[in-house]
């Protein structure tokens, strides 16, 4: 068995003589992730890209916009032929249109390895040849990343230095969890989690929890909790009513607000008519329950948490900002077990006690092009070249993109309104993708280069606050003709005359040694590699967010204009954005429908990664992604568990397998993201995804003009039973002829 790691945990693995992958979780891990069961599909599943492939239309007619992307066949060609063609195209675009006409995508989670990190590899290569238009922020928390600096001055502190779980377990009496603490997400951290501590911390939690979510299973059932089944997208209204109760009953901490905050008086005036009766009609939570919860919050050491999911919505700034304001009114920010948290249950490292250490990584160099887009605006970039948009107080414009280069990511998972994205992908001259599998992104490309998986190369692996650095040994030989991203970019760099600048004369193994030795001298690289891991120094068990600021706000001011918590931000108010004014406000969603869809993260895979895996496939219903409905909503539509149903709205439709579950509030359906997009264009009911990807339903709109963040968590939909023959799911089968290949066991 050889060591390696993944975004969902460290493990050892080997390929047996019959070609089967055997996986054992790290022996120190008390709660190994079930997602390790998907790893075998990373090897020789039929969906693997076996050889370099070029879309027929691009091959025959050359680079140009083409609406056949995603519908055309592919032709397999030799590596040298494809690399020659790609190098010529890169040179054409940068010479004729400038490097800003190249968009370097690579938003994704291809590998936990720090050297073979696809985004770093792609950005280093593109910077070496003159730069590119980049993306900024993330789909996960891009709204908060823009908002938090204005309100508390430091995104990193809130997202990466949260109060630790042992501190919460010891001091918190009431945990008010907006969006819950979904245990399925805590198994995942970028770079890996060797020791999954959060499940154990949750089991030891002594606080009473107020679960505020449309889904009861957004909190482990073993935790003492009261469920407040709120209507989706109404959390801000509930927060405002809680704040109103604190004011009218004199339960707010005036001294804290005066000393540590600015702009409270204006916010309080706004609260005057936001009473519990007003909020009850919006949220579905009885007014008496709102009043009782506000009183309990004021009487106990209370931690208010907001999951990242709440800011992945239209007006997503508001629940985060209102949560901070509510915590400030309680006056417990900076006290052990109290205050505010953002992301507990959204990622495995939030509240973790592991060390916060820099991990060796591949330098990306400097991008000489200053153009960028907020990451969730990719379709707008391609559809509206030259047009302007607002972002964080700036007026920016979309460059004229001629070439899209994607490596290690799948925008047809992350992005919204996939039918619009399909149209956007017809606009560039050329789309290039490095992929191990024939994902929808690969199918919508012109040039597809087969990339190795983490099991097929060597690397260094470690996550944020991980307890170990893992020597990622190669477990298996590359599938088919797959090459790692570094080898691909080195070959292109050679053709473009910048090989030395890109590689610095090093092989991939030499880069691993160079990165390790520049980071740590002892033990030697050879000892580390032979041992398979390096245990890192321990982190802090006890830490409280903003404790120093509370102790002395003059000596430790926040990095806001005032040095204080900005309940009202004159900076944001000065931008003049109607969809994000100067303090927290209630802004209702712009669309309504019979049912409200929650498109959350799956529990059977990481995003769309390894949807072909055993664990992911075991969760399918009728071969499609399961959609959960409340039994009352299902009965009204004649739907029973196991039925194939059509989920639809004006943007699109998909087929899914019905599951009835009273853990959902009535009027809510839940369909996880990540089923590989499988469009059927000519179905009698209209275009649909046969596999159950909810992003054919979600709207491609920004959270606001402030952040331009992703708003893909919710959508208004309806559901009906699908009668008649259902189209087969084709997403796991390649669009070129299948090629058989065998693996050689690694002895």
Dihedral angle computed from the Cα positions of residues 138, 141, 146 and 149, in that order, rounded to the nearest 10 degrees:
-130
Spatial distance between the Cα atoms of 162 and 218, rounded to a whole number of angstroms: 20
What CATH number has the domain spanning 595-721?
Answer: 2.40.40.20
Task: Work out the number of other CB atoms within 10 angstroms of the CB of residue 659.
Answer: 18
β-strands 714-721, 688-689: how paired?
unpaired
Name the token pair of 140: 């996960």
Spatial distance between the Cα atoms of 430 and 445, rounded to a whole number of angstroms: 8
- Which of 561, 597, 569 is CA-nearest to residue 585? 569
The reported pLDDT for the residue numbered 683 is 86
Distances (CA, A) of 649 to 209, 440, 467, 592, 601: 35, 22, 46, 10, 21
CA atoms lying within 13 Å on the CB side of residue 411: 33
3-state secondary structure of 101: helix
Q: CATH 3.40.50.740 residue ranges in the chain?
A: 2-138+358-535
Q: Which residues contact 389 (CB under 8 A, 6 or more apart)?
A: 377, 380, 395, 396, 397, 398, 705, 708
Name the token pair of 561: 């204009």
Task: Work out the number of other CB atoms within 10 angstroms of the CB of residue 421.
Answer: 25
As beta bridge partners, residue 435 has 450
Q: Which residues contact 576 (CB under 8 A, 6 or more apart)?
A: none
Give the chain's end-to-end CA distance (angstroms, integer).
9
> pLDDT, tens digit, for every residue of 648-678?
999 999 999 999 999 999 999 999 999 999 9
Give, as one character, the DSSP assignment of residue 715.
E
Distances (CA, A) of 86 to 266, 400, 446, 724: 58, 20, 10, 45
Could you tell me if 711 and 312 are in contact, meaning their C-beta atoms sit under 8 angstroms apart? yes
**Which residue carries 């102790």 as its tokens?**
551
| Residue 635: its H or E element | helix 631-636
> pLDDT, tens digit, for every residue of 59-107?
999 999 999 999 999 999 999 999 999 999 999 999 999 999 999 987 7
The average pLDDT across 601-615 equals 95
Sheet with 339-342: strands ordered across: 225-228, 208-212, 174-178, 302-306, 339-342
> pLDDT, tens digit, for every residue of 470-482?
999 999 999 999 9
Alpha carbon 703 to its chain centroid, in Å, reads 15
Give, as one character, the DSSP assignment of residue 344.
B
Q: CATH 3.40.228.10 residue ranges in the chain?
A: 142-346+550-575
Rg (CA), the chain: 25
Q: Using 50, 70 and 90 to split pLDDT, how confident is the model at 157?
A: very high
| Residue 328: its H or E element | helix 317-330
CA atoms lying within 13 Å on the CB side of residue 317: 29
Name the token pair of 334: 């900076």
- Which amino acids are annotated catalytic? 107, 109
Supply angle C-alpha 363, 364, 369, rounded to 5. 150
Q: Which residues contact 533 (CB under 8 A, 6 or more apart)?
A: 3, 10, 194, 468, 469, 470, 471
CA atoms lying within 13 Å on the CB side of residue 141: 19
Cis peptide before 169 (omega within 30 of 0): no
Could you tell me if 484 and 451 are in contact, meaning their C-beta atoms sit under 8 angstroms apart? yes
Q: Using 50, 70 and 90 to split pLDDT, how confident is the model at 294?
A: very high
Using CA of residue 360, residue 362, residue 363, residue 368, what is the dihedral sign? negative
Spatial distance between the Cα atoms of 154 and 703, rounded to a whole number of angstroms: 20
3-state secondary structure of 273: helix
Fold of 2-138+358-535: Rossmann fold (3.40.50)
Spatial distance between the Cα atoms of 265 and 328, rounded to a whole number of angstroms: 13
As a whole-number percent, the residues of the chain with pLDDT over 70 amount to 99
The average pLDDT across 384-388 equals 98
3-state secondary structure of 405: strand
Could you tell me if 666 and 632 are in contact, meaning their C-beta atoms sit under 8 angstroms apart? yes
The average pLDDT across 40-47 equals 90
The average pLDDT across 520-524 equals 89
Cis peptide before 523 (omega within 30 of 0): yes
Spatial distance between the Cα atoms of 698 and 540, rounded to a whole number of angstroms: 40
> pLDDT, tens digit, for every residue of 691-747?
999 999 999 999 999 999 999 999 999 999 999 899 999 999 888 753 434 444 332
Task: Work out the number of other CB atoms within 10 angstroms of the CB of residue 699.
Answer: 21
Domain 142-346+550-575 bears CATH identifier 3.40.228.10? yes
Spatial distance between the Cα atoms of 183 and 216, rounded to a whole number of angstroms: 12
Distances (CA, A) of 276 to 248, 282, 316: 11, 10, 22
Please give the backbone phi and psi of residue 539, each rounded to the nearest 5 degrees, phi first: -95, -160
| Summary mean pLDDT of the chain | 95
- Burial letters for 293-311: b for 16+ Cβ neighbours within 10 Å, e otherwise? bbebbbebbbbbbbbbbbb
The reported pLDDT for the residue numbered 692 is 98
Name the token pair of 261: 């905050």
Spatial distance between the Cα atoms of 490 and 13, rounded to a whole number of angstroms: 29
Residue 137, sorted as left (phi over 0), alpha (psi -120 to 50) or beta, turns out to be left
Beta strands in 491-611 (DSSP E): 533-535, 565-566, 595-598
> pLDDT, tens digit, for every residue of 4-20?
999 999 999 999 998 89
Task: Work out the number of other CB atoms within 10 angstroms of the CB of residue 394.
Answer: 9
> pLDDT, tens digit, for every residue of 122-154?
999 999 999 999 999 999 999 999 999 999 999
- Which of 438, 450, 477, 605 is CA-nearest to residue 19? 477
pTM: 0.96
Could you tell me if 375 and 139 are in contact, meaning their C-beta atoms sit under 8 angstroms apart? yes
Q: Does the pLDDT at position 540 exceed 80?
A: yes
Q: What share of the chain is helix, strand, coil (3-state, %, to 5)?
A: 30, 20, 50
> pLDDT, tens digit, for every residue of 262-275?
999 999 999 999 99
Name the token pair of 384: 């509206």
Q: Which residues contact 709 (CB under 8 A, 6 or more apart)?
A: 137, 142, 143, 144, 145, 146, 311, 312, 316, 374, 376, 702, 703
The average pLDDT across 164-176 equals 97
């Amino acid at each position: 068995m050889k060591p390696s790691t993944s975004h969902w945990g460290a493990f050892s693995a080997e390929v047996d003589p019959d070609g089967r992958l055997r996986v054992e979780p790290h022996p120190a891990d008390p709660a190994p992730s079930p997602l390790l069961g998907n790893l075998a599909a990373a090897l020789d599943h039929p969906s693997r890209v076996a050889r370099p492939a070029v879309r027929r239309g691009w091959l025959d007619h050359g680079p140009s916009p083409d609406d056949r992307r995603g519908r055309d066949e592919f032709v397999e060609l030799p590596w040298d032929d494809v690399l020659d063609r790609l190098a010529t195209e890169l040179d054409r675009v940068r010479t004729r249109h400038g490097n800003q006409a190249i968009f370097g995508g690579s938003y994704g989670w291809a590998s936990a390895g720090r050297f073979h990190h696809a985004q770093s590899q792609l950005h280093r290569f593109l910077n070496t040849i003159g730069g590119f238009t980049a993306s900024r922020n993330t789909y996960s928390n891009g709204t908060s990343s823009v908002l938090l600096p204005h309100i508390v001055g430091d995104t990193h502190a809130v997202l990466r230095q949260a109060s630790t779980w042992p501190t919460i377990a010891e001091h918190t009496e009431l945990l008010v969890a907006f969006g819950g603490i979904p245990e399925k997400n805590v198994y995942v951290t970028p770079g890996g989690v060797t020791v999954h501590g959060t499940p154990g911390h949750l089991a030891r939690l002594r606080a009473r929890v107020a679960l505020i979510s449309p889904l009861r299973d957004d909190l482990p059932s073993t935790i003492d909790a009261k469920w407040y089944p709120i209507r989706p997208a109404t959390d801000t209204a509930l927060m405002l009513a809680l704040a109103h109760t604190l004011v009218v009953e004199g339960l707010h901490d005036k001294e804290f607000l005066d000393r540590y905050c600015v702009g409270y008086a204006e916010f309080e005036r706004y609260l005057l008519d936001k009473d519990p009766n007003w909020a009850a009609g919006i949220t579905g939570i009885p007014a008496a329950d709102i009043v009782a919860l506000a009183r309990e919050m004021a009487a106990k050491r209370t931690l208010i948490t907001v999951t990242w999911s709440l800011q992945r919505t239209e007006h997503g700034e508001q629940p985060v900002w209102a949560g901070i304001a509510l915590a400030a009114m309680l006056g417990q920010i900076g006290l052990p077990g109290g205050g505010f948290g953002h992301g507990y249950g959204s990622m495995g490292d939030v509240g973790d006690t592991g060390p916060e250490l820099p991990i060796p990584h591949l330098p990306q160099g400097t991008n000489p092009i200053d153009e960028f887009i907020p990451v969730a605006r990719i379709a707008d970039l391609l559809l509206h070249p030259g047009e302007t948009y607002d972002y964080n107080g700036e007026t920016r414009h979309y460059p004229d993109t001629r070439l899209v280069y994607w490596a290690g990511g799948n925008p047809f998972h992350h992005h919204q309104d996939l039918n619009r994205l399909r149209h956007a992908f017809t606009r560039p001259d050329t789309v290039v993708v490095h992929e191990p599998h024939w994902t929808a992104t690969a199918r919508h490309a012109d040039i597809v280069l087969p990339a190795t998986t983490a099991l097929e190369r060597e690397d260094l692996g470690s996550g944020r606050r991980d307890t170990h650095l893992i020597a990622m040994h190669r477990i298996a030989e590359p599938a088919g003709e797959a090459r790692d991203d570094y080898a691909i970019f080195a070959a292109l760099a050679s053709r473009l005359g910048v090989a030395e600048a890109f590689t610095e004369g090093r092989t991939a193994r030499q880069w691993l040694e160079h990165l390790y030795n520049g980071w740590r001298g002892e033990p030697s690289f050879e000892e580390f590699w032979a041992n398979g891991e390096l245990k890192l120094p321990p982190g802090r068990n006890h830490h409280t967010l903003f404790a120093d600021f509370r102790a002395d706000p003059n000596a430790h001011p926040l990095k806001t204009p005032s040095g204080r918590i900005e309940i009202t931000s004159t900076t944001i108010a000065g931008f003049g954005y109607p969809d994000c004014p100067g303090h927290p406000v209630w802004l209702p969603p712009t669309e309504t429908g019979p049912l409200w869809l929650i498109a959350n993260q799956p529990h059977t895979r990481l995003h769309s990664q390894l949807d072909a895996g055993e664990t992911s496939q075991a969760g399918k219903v009728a071969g499609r992604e399961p959609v959960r409905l409340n039994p009352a909503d299902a009965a009204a539509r004649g739907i029973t568990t196991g039925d194939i149903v059509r989920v639809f709205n004006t943007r699109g439709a998909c087929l899914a397998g019905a599951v009835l579950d009273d853990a959902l509030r009535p009027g809510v359906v839940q369909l996880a993201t990540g089923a590989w997009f499988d469009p059927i264009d000519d179905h009698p009911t209209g275009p649909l995804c046969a596999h159950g990807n909810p992003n054919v339903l979600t709207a491609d709109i920004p959270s606001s003009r402030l952040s331009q963040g992703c708003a893909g968590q919710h959508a208004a939909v309806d559901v009906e039973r699908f009668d008649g023959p259902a189209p087969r799911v084709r997403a796991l089968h390649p669009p070129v002829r299948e090629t058989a290949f065998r693996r050689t066991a690694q002895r």
